[in-house]
Structure 1
């Protein structure tokens, strides 16, 4: 397939991490289809607000401006971090592709592993999910709410303002900051956000030609895994700022899903697992979420407090 028109316009946030991951998608799409792709930078509410995500609503703050550009026809498709994408359908838009997932784990950036940090160490994160799981692992820590891009957050460690920060490992790899990583948290320590490490390619639902084109970079295993994870979030009626961690992966043609809800103070946790055929990803996620609700997950999610204690 070769291009007969001008380049495809890819809408992306303007941050280094966003443009880096969008360029990776553009390069792969061009390689597979022959189409040229140009990046169009878009400023979102999440980029300009200084408030914590939980305070400005969390869900949608990084994607709404991109979606407006899509619907207006100003860009052909957008690349989002899938964990930023609301779980509900968007009128007039479709999720055309989920490329092969990168590493989904969280990473502690600083000069020591979590268990080696001194009592009362100051650890920064803007995520209630990470706050709750950090407090479960180390209730003595002073968990500090922070905002800003990765470089800004890492700078707080360099300056001594914080002892460590928690960031997505995949994002750190994309911007070449793996030297800052002291520890990568596996699923037994910290479950990631639904869809973390995955990208979402979104376009208008009436662009059948473009949906087919973008589908060339879709990864079936990634789509099944993130569908299961995001279904848990949707059934729990929790936004991307909720203290919900999930991870699904296909092993020997079986999809394994684990999810957790942790109280804001880290003292209580509901953690359950399920498995089944990848074609049943949505059903697996829905059933697991209902089991969590039966054990009181909604009460734990209602106890939100990301201010330092």
Structure 2
């Protein structure tokens, strides 16, 4: 006898990493509350999880997402949770981004030996990161402020990366505040990098909840978890990324934030940066306008800033272009 639809557990597709499981578990609880149905996690291994190559070498775009989306299309899971910064900027027609919940802290952070701050690291300090975006901005800041650092490409989960510092192989590593928050390890951070120093990846700190486009009932339920301000912000950031024709491993940073007067939100500011990984050349611009109240409005904000950046030479600074 088949289980009644109303009581059947919803199947949530997730990557197997500790961080993915933690954030998917939090979403599962929220979805269970709004639907009244149990939610079970279905672990899926993605190409990005099994490949040991650096993201820039394996293409970056979609390597953590494709297997989850394939499982959705095949009906093996009902919905999936992604780190939004991992999503390619093109949305498949058969899938819909049903919810973008309230964003976590979008900043990058340093975990350094001896509880050091970024600007207190010794001359020749080795800083590990797998992100060309972080390398570009850290090296640019160091050049402009007389710091002597070496950025070292690394891969691996949070334990592996922090382990490089604990073992003395590196002086510091750069991670996302949101990820450490979600796995309860934010107390290991020795310095929070201001977004004026390092702009985050487009969509960093936000989650994307995706399901089949023809599942109207589930789309309606998941929509209750959507935060319109977060969605507008990440839409503008990802529009900038798409208009620069850059993959998610390209050295592009972007952040849209709300400018408020007291409790009243007045405007949205979008900042974007692209640079060479050695930090010798960067293009960084910003634009401010009314808070977009439509998807198209947020897209237009991103495109407008990207156009300005391209006229300033941004295209020539990106090592990887989307194919």
Per the TM alignment, residue 5 of structure 1 is displaced from its structure 2 partner at its CA by 2.9
Matched, 1:223 2:231: yes
Matched, 1:199 2:207: yes
Partner in structure 1 of residue 281 of structure 2:
268
Which whole-Å CA distance do the structure 1 matches of 2:283 and 2:125 have between them?
26
Matched, 1:244 2:248: no
Partner in structure 2 of residue 110 of structure 1:
112
- More divergent stretch after superposition (102-111 vs 178-187): 178-187
Per the TM alignment, residue 303 of structure 1 is displaced from its structure 2 partner at its CA by 8.2
Partner in structure 1 of residue 195 of structure 2:
187
Per the TM alignment, residue 301 of structure 1 is displaced from its structure 2 partner at its CA by 1.1
SS at match of 1:187: coil
Which whole-Å CA distance do the structure 1 matches of 2:103 and 2:306 have between them?
23
Which whole-Å CA distance do the structure 2 matches of 1:49 and 1:233 have between them?
24
TM-score, scaled to structure 2: 0.91
Aligned length: 303
Which whole-Å CA distance do the structure 1 matches of 2:309 and 2:52 have between them?
33
Per the TM alignment, residue 151 of structure 1 is displaced from its structure 2 partner at its CA by 0.8
Residues 7 and 38, structure 2, Cα contact 8 Å, conserved in 1: no
Matched, 1:138 2:142: yes
- More divergent stretch after superposition (82-91 vs 188-197): 82-91
Residues 89 and 238, structure 2, Cα contact 8 Å, conserved in 1: yes
Which whole-Å CA distance do the structure 2 matches of 1:245 and 1:7 have between them?
38
SS at match of 2:37: coil
Partner in structure 2 of residue 307 of structure 1:
none
Q: Equivalent of 2:298, from 281, 293, 306?
A: 281
Structure 2: gaps (5+ residues): 260-264
Measured against aligned partners, the alpha-carbon deviations of 1:164-213 in whole angstroms (never above 9, x if no partner) come to: 00000010111121222111111111000000000000111111111111
Which whole-Å CA distance do the structure 2 matches of 1:158 and 1:55 have between them?
27
Residues 109 and 174, structure 2, Cα contact 8 Å, conserved in 1: yes
Partner in structure 2 of residue 12 of structure 1:
14
Which whole-Å CA distance do the structure 2 matches of 1:136 and 1:272 have between them?
15
Matched, 1:294 2:288: no
TM-score, scaled to structure 1: 0.95
SS at match of 2:258: strand
Map 1:54-133 onto structure 2 (within 5 A). Answer: 54-111=56-113, 112-133=116-137
Per the TM alignment, residue 267 of structure 1 is displaced from its structure 2 partner at its CA by 1.6
Structure 1: gaps (5+ residues): 305-309
- More divergent stretch after superposition (246-255 vs 34-43): 246-255
SS at match of 1:302: coil
Root-mean-square deviation (Å): 1.5
Per the TM alignment, residue 114 of structure 1 is displaced from its structure 2 partner at its CA by 1.1
SS at match of 2:101: coil
Which 4+ residue blocks in structure 1 deviate beyond 4 angstroms? none
Per the TM alignment, residue 255 of structure 1 is displaced from its structure 2 partner at its CA by 1.3
Per the TM alignment, residue 253 of structure 1 is displaced from its structure 2 partner at its CA by 3.5
Residues 94 and 214, structure 2, Cα contact 8 Å, conserved in 1: yes
Which whole-Å CA distance do the structure 2 matches of 1:11 and 1:303 have between them?
29
Which whole-Å CA distance do the structure 2 matches of 1:197 and 1:142 have between them?
26
